[in-house]
Structure 1
């Protein structure tokens, strides 16, 4: 037993020494952080130091010795490590400032700024996606407020400024009458990669396909016959960025093709998987290029045109398809054209590149006092693969907790219930996990009030049982890449 304790002490001391060097080794990056977020930024980097190595064996030894296995140390990584070493006889003149309470208080404070005060009977805030039809339904917005809506989300990819203004006016009016706070979240549209049928099926808006079939991706129909299936991705520059062998997903990943040939601003694709029930490609369905480095700005000209309205009405702004830290820097620069007092930005993590760059995105976010992260699981699942979604959404949650940053759990929460009035067993379980986030976003549907009531009951029960399982930490690729890249830069 003594030998095991000596080995544990040695491994922990090595990690503690690495964490103690973070302020000096990452001095350049930390110098750009908002003063209120310095402790949070340091804790994030220290958590990445911990997660760049597989410590599962160390955790098992700690557990068997009755010591903290570091399994729930996201918000207070260095402090937890020091506390464990103290139990092994070491002393520290000064312990890390990021305690469990500090991290919890920071997340709660930022959550209140972003989502308002949590309704008394609700452990999580609820963000409801607005629809123009809500304006025609008597008392619906009032009932949404009474049943837990804390944030009203307006998708700038739909309707126009006149409709958005009517919805905001109605929400503000009902909020004042009911004396229930409701934040306004304006979601920027971002780049629209959507199917446009250029040749066969153009008139009908859909075309039949099958596995093994060849189709074309092009910007125009020139040079093709009427029998060719030709689709455009809706954005220029996409095709020239593709490489042979890269995957192309259509319609939320139901159809998967691979780039087989490139020629004259066109790409020949081979359909390798077709899970679409009707075996058709439909116009306006989404297209994803998870393997490709696309030269497309996350902030479009349409988004920039929306910014005056955003600055006049938004409590928070959603940044769709953000991929790297420079994207967030660009958005904030554009917002600051109108005022130095800009609304907090919610980073929508919905691409593989955003996941890979999450540490950098979080540090860029911490250049301002308040921001949040939305786990946009729809496009994210397509981009990273459905089988990896559980793993990745947890990794995002861990890193956000380490950065003391609130998380919005989004996409298909109780979707069957929302659309049909009946929930599946699987989505009830998913909603239980969603309730652990600081905010839950629900999309549009015919049964919004029923979804709110169900979520409230699930959230109350799930939160009352909130006790994290003991986790074991294998190497986290995101952490390794960040630490190695930044140390070489410093």
Structure 2
């Protein structure tokens, strides 16, 4: 193959000169910037320099240059993230253009992949045969009561177990971990083990920016018997009469779907004196005749009953049985009301995190509170606010000492309901608060003793990693794996600095938390943003977790949506994929494992440099 310099045209000379100038500019900027980011981890220096070169490259529009490269039959530089300077040098070599030595730490494609693989293995463990992408499953505390499910998850492809410390408590976390290890031991005994230890990653709760409490109300409790499409009952509804119960209430199963009821009985008489088959009749809150049939005697305080038709029950209803004998129902448990809002209405957001939200009255609009009131100080007029993963959109129209008023914008075709503990997002507000909370510091003692890695929630800036390092040093666990969760717009703009700080840790990765991220950047922009995050992490040779709503329909409903199958298949770009819990989680693990295995056999990565939504701040 001839060099372009041999008999090349003036156009070719101009092109070679243009590419050489670009290389010199990128290398100079990277060399100048790297002194701002000293590293104690020597093997990370090539990753730092490559990331800086990649960020410098992203500041230029390469479209015309890539077209010209293609015209010359050369690499279009479409896959250069992992070795920026080396990739350009190879093209310049074909153009017979000399390359100065800038004393930067460079790597080639092979060594970059080896480094990235080494880091992924250290953080996530050894991959399974047939696929390089690991599968992480969010554990539910109820899984501990079903050892066969834990075994099946391991057998079908779970490589990493995730425990979210925003939920439950240390006793339940320990129970989940013990259940996992016991399941591994049973599989090994059956010679069905994977030959590898399932890693455990625990998410710190972080500052939970959510809606606060709302007013509660006691209303008649509906005991709904399942029906077919013709409205006919298809099975009985089972529940309990209990004279030790505090409230009459519905209790959900381990997946939050099937329900049974507990009826509080006021009379303190032995209930096991009722015989199996005995009928207790009553008129429900709608004055309709209904009956419970005794099907099992559990204890002197509790009996199991069956209901054949839907009933509404409330405090004071009487159950009749035997020779004019009666039992009196206790009060249903008070439940949070739904705050109803519509587009065009005002919603008042209070600073006081303990103030109960309520519906609109004649004197005041509907209101809610915020669990982290400090963030409201950062709001300005016209700032957007999203509630419950973007289901409700609003904008700030008034700010006072104790509250801000929001105008509800969406949904515009129907009313929406707000409940407590729903997420609040402020995508255009600069929230300056540390990611590490006092509760996180308390939880760290358990996490460092039991987990292989921890995930830092709501990271906004490199300082958050420094704060975490201080705490880990106190526990002598600076070696534990660290995953920075990218879930806010500010975190995206600070991602390069977060990566550069992370390279100074011995075991570091990134999680693309796509749920909050979609709300922050707009659902229509998520695909571009997640692609750009992947590119930046590849340039830093840092492993990635692709998280949130992966095969969500399949996990929750048992039937995948077509779009989520494509989405899941694309997740092989990351070193790990996270699945959330659901009644069909086993099917989701099995499907994802199959998709990842097949995709990695033939998928060719196509890459384009994106700049519009993820410009990096404070680098140059």
- Cα 1:476–1:403 change in 2 (3 A) is farther
Name the structure with the higher strand share: 2
Structure 2 partner of 1:460:
597
Q: Give runs of aligned pairs for residues 16-165 of structure 1, distance below 5 A.
A: 16-22=23-29, 24-92=31-99, 97-165=106-174
Structure 2 partner of 1:217:
349
Task: Look up the SS of the partner of 1:21 in the other structure.
Answer: helix
Tell me how far apart the structure 2 counterparts of residues 67 and 442 of structure 1 sit (CA, whole Å): 40
Q: Does the aligned pair in 2 maintain the 1:345–1:371 contact within 8 Å?
A: yes
Structure 2 partner of 1:5:
12
Structure 1 residue corresponding to 2:468, chosen from 323, 327, 331 = 331
Tell me how far apart the structure 1 counterparts of residues 392 and 609 of structure 2 sit (CA, whole Å): 35
* Deviation, structure 1 residue 200: 9.4
Tell me how far apart the structure 2 counterparts of residues 224 and 93 of structure 1 sit (CA, whole Å): 68
TM-score under structure 2 length normalisation? 0.74
Q: Does the aligned pair in 2 maintain the 1:311–1:342 contact within 8 Å?
A: no
Q: Does the aligned pair in 2 maintain the 1:52–1:476 contact within 8 Å?
A: no
Q: Does the aligned pair in 1 maintain the 2:513–2:548 contact within 8 Å?
A: yes
Deviates more, 1:93-102 or 1:211-220: 93-102
Tell me how far apart the structure 1 counterparts of residues 511 and 474 of structure 2 sit (CA, whole Å): 25
Task: Look up the SS of the partner of 1:237 in the other structure.
Answer: helix
Runs of 5+ unmatched residues, structure 2: 1-7, 218-333
Tell me how far apart the structure 2 counterparts of residues 475 and 143 of structure 1 sit (CA, whole Å): 43
Structure 1 partner of 2:580:
443
Q: Does the aligned pair in 2 maintain the 1:75–1:402 contact within 8 Å?
A: yes
Structure 2 partner of 1:247:
384
Q: Does the aligned pair in 2 maintain the 1:13–1:85 contact within 8 Å?
A: yes
Q: Does the aligned pair in 1 maintain the 2:147–2:179 contact within 8 Å?
A: no
Q: Give runs of aligned pairs for residues 336-415 of structure 1, distance below 5 A.
A: 336-415=473-552
- Cα 1:414–1:472 change in 2 (3 A) is closer
Q: Does the aligned pair in 2 maintain the 1:347–1:373 contact within 8 Å?
A: yes
In the alignment, is residue 269 of structure 1 matched against residue 278 of structure 2? Answer: no
* Deviation, structure 1 residue 229: 1.1
The number of aligned residues is 483
CA displacement 1:77-106 (0-9 Å, x = unmatched)? 100000000000124586963111111111
Task: Look up the SS of the partner of 2:428 in the other structure.
Answer: coil
Task: Look up the SS of the partner of 1:238 in the other structure.
Answer: helix
Q: Does the aligned pair in 2 maintain the 1:240–1:265 contact within 8 Å?
A: no
Task: Look up the SS of the partner of 1:152 in the other structure.
Answer: strand
CA displacement 1:246-283 (0-9 Å, x = unmatched)? 01101110110100011122101100112697621122
* Deviation, structure 1 residue 218: 0.6
Q: Does the aligned pair in 1 maintain the 2:385–2:395 contact within 8 Å?
A: yes
- Cα 1:20–1:432 change in 2 (3 A) is same
* Deviation, structure 1 residue 174: 2.7
- Cα 1:307–1:276 change in 2 (3 A) is farther
* Deviation, structure 1 residue 223: 13
Structure 1 residue corresponding to 2:453, chosen from 316, 319, 322 = 316
Structure 2 partner of 1:182:
198
Tell me how far apart the structure 1 counterparts of residues 357 and 495 of structure 2 sit (CA, whole Å): 42
Structure 2 residue corresponding to 1:195, chosen from 211, 217, 222 = 211
Structure 1 partner of 2:292:
none
Q: Does the aligned pair in 1 maintain the 2:34–2:48 contact within 8 Å?
A: no
Tell me how far apart the structure 2 counterparts of residues 347 and 417 of structure 1 sit (CA, whole Å): 27
Q: Does the aligned pair in 1 maintain the 2:386–2:426 contact within 8 Å?
A: yes
Task: Look up the SS of the partner of 1:54 in the other structure.
Answer: coil
- Cα 1:153–1:32 change in 2 (3 A) is same
Runs of 5+ unmatched residues, structure 1: none
Name the structure with the higher helix share: 1
Tell me how far apart the structure 2 counterparts of residues 10 and 162 of structure 1 sit (CA, whole Å): 66
Tell me how far apart the structure 1 counterparts of residues 552 and 149 of structure 2 sit (CA, whole Å): 19
Choose between structure 1 and 2 for higher RCO, CA contacts under 8 A separated by at least 6 residues.
Answer: 1
Structure 2 partner of 1:287:
424
Tell me how far apart the structure 2 counterparts of residues 145 and 477 of structure 1 sit (CA, whole Å): 38
Task: Look up the SS of the partner of 1:323 in the other structure.
Answer: coil
The structure with more radius of gyration: 2
CA displacement 1:329-382 (0-9 Å, x = unmatched)? 111111111105331210110000000000000000011122000100000000
Deviates more, 1:10-19 or 1:328-337: 10-19
